[in-house]
């Protein structure tokens, strides 16, 4: 094919496809530029949020801390910084015995958390507060939402604690057993094993524990503390 024929063929092709090609290239360039602008804005927002949150953590004056918390909620809503501020508020409320305020703050943290790990952390703490408020059903529902592998064993163990405290020993045993399975290759937790064994059926029957859960856990810890001493005596 001669140069003239090639030019004629290209001219015909360009007439049919040139406009579409230009539009496609333009869109691609616009998308790249837009993504770069978006990424730059995201980076700037992250850096600004980190700086404000660092000031919040370092603030010793309560009025200043409160003002920085309000700024984080306004300027960095639904971010990790927002969730962390809400978690801090919940911790303060619990230390002051205000479980209602703690529940509200933890629900805020749940809604603000942009990732599953922070959301699950808030859910575990929320379940403890809800049980402290006398709402075991709400606490169990909060624990059921937890799926992160790192938090799942803790959620199942806490589920077992609630069932045991409510006198539902069979459900407690199942939860403790599931917590053991969820640990996988992680190092075992002796206290969890003691809880599971104490809730296990005897002669096929599950018993309802009369003593409070706190007392049972205290005795379990005392047993653990005594184990090294017993082992030393045996070696002698």
Give the mean pLDDT of 132-139: 93
Q: Is the pLDDT of residue 189 over 70?
A: yes
Per DSSP, helices labelled H in the chain are 3-58, 62-75, 80-95, 99-112, 116-132, 136-144, 152-165, 169-183, 190-199, 213-235
Q: Among 88-97, 178-187, 224-233, where is mean pLDDT lowest?
A: 224-233
pTM score, whole prediction? 0.69
User: pLDDT tier at 61 (50, 70, 90 boundaries)?
Assistant: confident
Per-residue pLDDT of 202-220, as tens digits, reads: 877 777 665 555 555 555 5
Please enumerate in sequence order all residues whose Cβ is within 8 A of that of 131, keeping only pairs 6 or more positions apart, or say none.
139, 162, 165
Is 116 a residue whose pLDDT tops 80? Answer: yes
44-58 confidence digits (pLDDT tens): 667 777 888 888 888
């Amino acid at each position: 094919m001669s140069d003239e024929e090639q030019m004629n063929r290209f001219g015909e092709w360009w007439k049919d496809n040139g406009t579409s090609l230009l539009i496609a290239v333009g869109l691609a360039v616009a998308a790249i530029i837009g993504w770069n602008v978006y990424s730059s804005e995201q980076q700037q927002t992250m850096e600004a949020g980190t700086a404000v949150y660092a000031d919040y953590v370092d603030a010793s004056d309560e009025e200043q801390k409160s003002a920085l918390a309000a700024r984080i909620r306004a300027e960095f809503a639904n971010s990790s910084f927002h969730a962390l501020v809400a978690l801090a508020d919940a911790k303060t409320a619990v230390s002051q015995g205000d479980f209602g305020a703690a529940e509200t703050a933890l629900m805020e943290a749940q809604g603000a958390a942009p990732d599953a790990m922070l959301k699950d952390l808030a859910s575990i703490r929320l379940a403890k507060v809800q049980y402290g408020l006398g709402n075991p059903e709400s606490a169990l529902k909060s624990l059921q939402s937890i799926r992160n592998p790192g938090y799942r064993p803790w959620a199942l163990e806490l589920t077992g604690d609630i069932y045991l405290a409510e006198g539902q020993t069979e459900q407690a045993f199942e939860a403790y057993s599931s917590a053991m399975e969820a640990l996988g290759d992680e190092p075992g937790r002796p206290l969890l094993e003691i809880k599971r064994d104490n809730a296990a059926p005897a002669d096929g029957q599950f018993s309802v524990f009369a003593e409070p859960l706190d007392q049972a856990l205290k005795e379990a810890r005392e047993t653990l503390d005594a184990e090294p001493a017993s082992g030393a005596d045996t070696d002698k």
